[in-house]
């Protein structure tokens, strides 16, 4: 196929204009800039390298516009490739033009606008930027957030693929939950852009991409150096510094480097047990334009975080007097500690035949130690059910991509070949029975090794008003799990004796999509594809290879619409079928009873609606509404609710940016009541929370205040169904347990730019 595509290559004719769009201050490429030829009315969009090819000739005038930059007009000169530098400017939705994109990314407008108007205040805020994505923190701030998207309670990432600069965040065969995605090593101020996609339609995204994916990109060059100090209620303190290491002379040569560091401490709220949440982050990035055809990017980061936690509280604990109020604690030993160190080396090469090649090597060393108690004295009435999960691993991998756009007459063919490799060496994966944090015995203890090798082919054809995309992805996974628990551990012995320690499986996932752009105001698209999420190695080996890689099949019918110059609407009707559902507690041996059997097939359908409107030059509004209907297929009606799966979420905000430097916004997030168990006899309570932020920004400094839960609502951030038994209770109770949401919380900040 590669030879065939190469043979079809045509040299660009005189009737085409080549160019590149760059940020004037940072010299970094600008993706999704719109280039319009005034004479022919042809429109093109720049790719991730800022490059574009457009029909035209000498003397033609081009208008270049992109959200957040000043519009610019240039005249084409004969025989010259254009290098166009754009200056930052006011944000205006009038600059948004709907056109056939080369990569089916309908979210470019949403991501660019939301990141500009709602700068992330924390790693959690980065996830909340995705329309329809909700999160919940239920273990002292340092644990990965619980993720909700498209009718999924995706636990900590089982059905949402998360990455940073091409490096995967999700952890396979994690001691706490399959796909565990702890994003806290990412400093929010270093993020330059993010990309998301809903559904299993993207050939470059593999494991865990069922509900969708989120991909973050960090800045290559800082606009300015910065020091920021934040102080808030509950003894909250944060210090951040971001410093360029090289000067303007190096930047002009295409060389840059910077370092960013963060230190955070917080008691976390009015809990009887202060969380003592601490986090240290250090990040460094280096870029070098080695020559006209090669760019090298290297980055390193390290995270260390520790915390205490009150954990989940059964509903009856307050009413029956076990604790004084919602912020009490039943087991004060709960909490955790985690570290992650990352390194990445990426080389971007432009080959002489027009192909672009990307090669990336990455590595992570990871440690996780968490003590929890969900059921208290249900399994072990004397010593209690407290348990510890430990995970130590080395993870390494490779990402490679070869791409090219070929023009034949007025049709563009974008061809992509990709390959990847990931290897996890986990030593050990551990589940211990503990009391007051002290070891009592193993519940599960072993070594795991997991290999994922993948390859994909993707072809996009743009002709006239049509865009077609077809892709095929192959993933091969090999699992190895060695039980190291002593024979006296009857739980592990019963499960892993006389089982084969190795299993392997491959899965092929086809993707097919189409767009039709009626004009610069309206576009329809259809997406269909197959994805998957892998099971944890312990469960794969325990079940002897049953349901190793459950598949997901989905379809979207959507539209992008600009009925008014200042209004952008994206909406989609979607459906997803899943061969095997993973719900909380189902995908790991996280209780003494051992692994739970597969929960069966599910289907989901819903609507995504997002709107962005600009009232004036300084006032913006956004609205997201996301209803969904998740159900088990093989269960009787009335007993087929998918526990904890969201059925309706909504977010909205009013954001303002005045010329005098005053800016900010007020926003809400709403999560509807949902079933806590399969027959809806228990309810996970919804909430409506309002946040406020106001800043005063000048060239050299910024001061601001951020308020969470402005109206001091009582709400539950996370909720789960547990059969639990409290001390001195004579029998267990099947009930909802919760982590209380933080009440009114104010934080002040001061940033200095230099």
Q: Please compute Rg for the chain using Cα positions.
A: 26
Helices (H), 118-227: 123-128
At residue 119, does pLDDT exceed 60?
yes
- 69 and 115 within one domain: no
Last residue of a domain, one of 38, 58, 89: 89
Hey, CA dihedral for 169, 170, 171, 175, is it positive or negative? positive
**100 located within any domain:** no
At 101 the pLDDT is: 67
- 510 and 655 within one domain: yes
Helix or strand or coil: residue 316? helix
Percent of the chain with pLDDT over 90: 71
**73 located within any domain:** yes
- In this structure, what are the phi and psi dihedrals at residue 221, rounded to the nearest 5 degrees? -135, 140
**99 located within any domain:** no
Mean pLDDT of the chain: 90
**Which whole-number Å values give the CA distances from 566 to 97, 562, 611, 617, in the listed order?**
11, 8, 11, 10
Among the residue ranges 27-36, 308-317, 670-679, the one predicted with the least confidence is 27-36
In terms of Cα–Cα distance, which of 638, 646, 635 is closest to 604? 646
DSSP string covering 717-750: EEEEEEEEB-TT-SS-EEEEEEEEPP-SEEEEEE
CA dihedral 96, 100, 104, 109 (to 10 degrees): 0
What is the C-alpha separation between 590 and 595, in angstroms, rounded? 8
Please say whether the beta carbons of 99 and 520 come within 8 A.
Answer: yes
What is the C-alpha separation between 197 and 189, in angstroms, rounded? 22
**Total structural domains within the chain:** 2
Last residue of a domain, one of 34, 58, 89: 89
Q: Which domain holds residue 407?
A: 108-753
* Position 492 confidence tier, pLDDT thresholds 50, 70, 90: confident
Residue 10's CATH number:
2.60.40.1120
At 621 the pLDDT is: 95
**Which whole-number Å values give the CA distances from 243 to 190, 228, 419, 459, in the listed order?**
11, 12, 35, 41
Higher pLDDT, 554 or 55: 554
pTM, entire model: 0.93
Strands (E), 464-616: 466-483, 502-519, 522-532, 551-564, 567-578, 602-614
At residue 527, does pLDDT exceed 90?
yes
Two tokens at 104? 């089916």
- 668 and 538 within one domain: yes
Conformational region of residue 426, where left means phi above 0, alpha means psi within -120 to 50, and beta covers everything else: beta
At 45 the pLDDT is: 84
**103 located within any domain:** no
Q: How many CB atoms lie within 10 A of CB 624?
A: 22
**95 located within any domain:** no
- In this structure, what are the phi and psi dihedrals at residue 52, rounded to the nearest 5 degrees? -150, 155
Residue 564's CATH number:
2.40.170.20
- 606-622 pLDDT, tens digit each: 999 999 999 999 999 99
At 370 the pLDDT is: 96
What is the C-alpha separation between 363 and 597, in angstroms, rounded? 34
**94 located within any domain:** no
- 187-225 pLDDT, tens digit each: 999 999 899 999 999 999 999 999 999 999 999 999 899
3-state helix, strand, coil in the chain (%, to 5): 5, 55, 40
- Bridge-based pairing of strands 313-314 and 701-708 is unpaired
- 378 and 437 within one domain: yes
**3-class SS letters over 443-500:** EEEEEEEEEEEEEEEEEEEEECCEEEEEEEEEEEEEEEEEECCCCCCHHHHHHHCCCC
Last residue of a domain, one of 61, 89, 117: 89
Burial bucket for residue 217 (CB in 10 Å: 0-12, 13-18, 19+): middle
At 1 the pLDDT is: 37
Per-residue DSSP letter, 597:
P
What is the C-alpha separation between 275 and 264, in angstroms, rounded? 12
What is the C-alpha separation between 129 and 735, in angstroms, rounded? 32
- 522 and 624 within one domain: yes
- 124 and 41 within one domain: no
At residue 10, does pLDDT exceed 60?
no
* Position 475 confidence tier, pLDDT thresholds 50, 70, 90: very high
At 410 the pLDDT is: 84
**102 located within any domain:** no
- 124 and 65 within one domain: no
**Which whole-number Å values give the CA distances from 252 to 255, 384, 580, in the listed order?**
7, 64, 53
- 174 and 38 within one domain: no
**727 located within any domain:** yes
- 139 and 50 within one domain: no
Percent of the chain with pLDDT over 70: 94
- 536-578 pLDDT, tens digit each: 998 888 888 777 899 999 999 999 999 999 999 999 999 999 9
- 371-427 pLDDT, tens digit each: 999 999 998 999 999 999 999 999 999 999 999 999 898 899 999 999 999 999 999
- 34 and 152 within one domain: no
Burial bucket for residue 75 (CB in 10 Å: 0-12, 13-18, 19+): exposed
72: number of CA atoms within 13 Å, CB side? 21
What is the C-alpha separation between 676 and 683, in angstroms, rounded? 5
Name, in order, each residue with C-beta under 8 angstroms of 606's C-beta and a sequence gap of 6 or more: 150, 151, 573, 574, 626, 627, 628, 629
- 211 and 136 within one domain: yes
Conformational region of residue 215, where left means phi above 0, alpha means psi within -120 to 50, and beta covers everything else: beta
CA dihedral 609, 615, 618, 619 (to 10 degrees): -50
- 127 and 187 within one domain: yes
- 151-187 pLDDT, tens digit each: 999 889 999 999 999 999 999 999 998 999 999 999 9
What is the C-alpha separation between 286 and 283, in angstroms, rounded? 11
* Position 588 confidence tier, pLDDT thresholds 50, 70, 90: very low
In terms of Cα–Cα distance, which of 478, 563, 217 is closest to 360? 217
């Amino acid at each position: 196929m590669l030879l065939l595509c190469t043979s079809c290559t045509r040299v660009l004719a005189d009737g085409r204009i080549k160019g590149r769009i760059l940020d004037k201050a940072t010299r970094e490429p600008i993706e999704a800039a719109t280039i319009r030829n005034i004479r022919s009315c042809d429109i093109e969009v720049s790719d991730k390298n800022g490059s574009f090819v457009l029909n035209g000739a000498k003397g033609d005038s081009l208008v270049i516009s992109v959200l957040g930059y000043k519009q610019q007009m240039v005249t084409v000169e004969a025989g010259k490739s254009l290098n166009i530098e754009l200056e930052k400017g006011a944000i205006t939705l009038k600059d948004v033009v709907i056109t056939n994109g080369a990569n089916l990314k309908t979210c470019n407008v949403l991501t660019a606008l939301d990141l500009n108007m709602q700068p992330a205040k924390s790693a959690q805020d980065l996830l909340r930027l995705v329309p329809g994505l909700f999160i919940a923190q239920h273990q002292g701030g340092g644990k990965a957030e619980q993720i909700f998207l498209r009718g999924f309670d995706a636990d900590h990432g089982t059905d949402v693929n998360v990455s940073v600069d091409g490096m995967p965040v999700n952890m396979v065969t994690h001691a706490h939950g399959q796909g565990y995605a702890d994003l806290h090593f990412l400093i929010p101020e270093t993020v330059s852009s993010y990309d998301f996609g809903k559904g299993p339609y993207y050939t470059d995204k593999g494991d865990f991409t069922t509900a969708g994916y989120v991909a973050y990109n960090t800045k290559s060059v800082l606009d300015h150096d910065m020091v920021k100090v934040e102080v808030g209620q509950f003894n909250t303190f944060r210090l951040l510094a971001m410093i360029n290491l090289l000067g303007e002379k190096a930047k002009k040569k295409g060389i840059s480097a910077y370092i960013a560091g963060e230190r955070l401490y917080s008691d976390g709220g009015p809990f009887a047990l202060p969380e003592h949440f601490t986090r240290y982050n250090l990040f460094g990035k280096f870029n070098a334009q080695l020559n006209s055809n090669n760019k090298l990017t290297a980055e390193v980061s390290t995270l260390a975080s520790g915390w205490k936690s009150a954990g989940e509280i059964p509903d009856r604990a307050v009413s029956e007097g076990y604790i004084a109020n919602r912020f009490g604690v039943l087991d004060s030993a709960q909490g955790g500690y985690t570290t992650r160190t990352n390194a990445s080396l990426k080389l971007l090469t432009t080959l002489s035949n027009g192909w672009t090649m990307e090669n990336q090597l990455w590595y992570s060393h990871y440690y996780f130690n968490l003590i929890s108690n969900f059921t208290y004295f249900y399994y072990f009435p004397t010593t209690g059910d407290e348990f510890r999960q430990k995970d130590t691993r080395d993870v390494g991998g490779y990402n490679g991509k070869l791409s090219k756009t070929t023009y034949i007459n007025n049709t563009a063919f974008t061809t992509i070949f990709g390959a990847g490799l990931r290897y996890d060496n986990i030593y050990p994966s551990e589940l211990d029975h503990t009391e007051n944090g002290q070891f009592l015995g193993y519940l599960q203890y072993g070594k795991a090794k997991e290999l994922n090798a993948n390859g994909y082919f993707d072809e996009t054809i743009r002709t006239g008003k049509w865009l077609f995309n077809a892709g095929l992805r192959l993933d091969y996974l090999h699992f190895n799990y060695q039980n190291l628990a002593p024979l006296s551990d009857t739980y592990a012995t019963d499960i892993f004796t006389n089982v084969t320690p190795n299993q392997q499986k491959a899965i092929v996932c086809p993707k097919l999509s189409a767009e039709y752009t009626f004009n610069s105001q309206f576009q329809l698209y259809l997406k269909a594809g197959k994805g998957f999420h892998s099971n944890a190695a312990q469960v794969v080996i325990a079940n002897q290879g049953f349901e190793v890689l459950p598949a997901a099949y989905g379809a979207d019918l959507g539209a992008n619409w600009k009925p008014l110059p200042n209004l952008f609407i994206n909406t989609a009707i979607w459906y997803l079928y899943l061969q095997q559902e993973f719900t909380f507690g189902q995908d790991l041996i996280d209780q003494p009873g051992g692994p739970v059997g597969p929960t069966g097939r599910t289907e989901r359908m819903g609507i995504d609606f997002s709107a962005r409107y600009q009232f004036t030059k300084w006032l913006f509004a956004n609205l997201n509404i996301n209803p969904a209907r998740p159900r088990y297929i093989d269960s009787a009606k009335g007993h087929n609710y998918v526990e904890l799966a969201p059925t309706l979420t909504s977010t909205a905000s009013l954001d303002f940016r005045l010329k005098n430097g005053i800016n900010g916004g007020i926003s809400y997030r709403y999560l509807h009541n949902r079933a806590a168990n399969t027959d809806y006899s228990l309810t996970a309570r919804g909430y409506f929370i309002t946040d406020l932020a106001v800043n005063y920004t000048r060239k050299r400094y910024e001061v601001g205040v951020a308020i969470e839960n402005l109206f001091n609502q009582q709400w539950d951030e996370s909720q789960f169904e547990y059969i639990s038994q409290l001390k001195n209770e004579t029998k267990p109770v099947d009930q909802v347990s919760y982590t209380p949401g933080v009440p009114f919380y104010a934080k002040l900040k001061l940033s200095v730019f230099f």
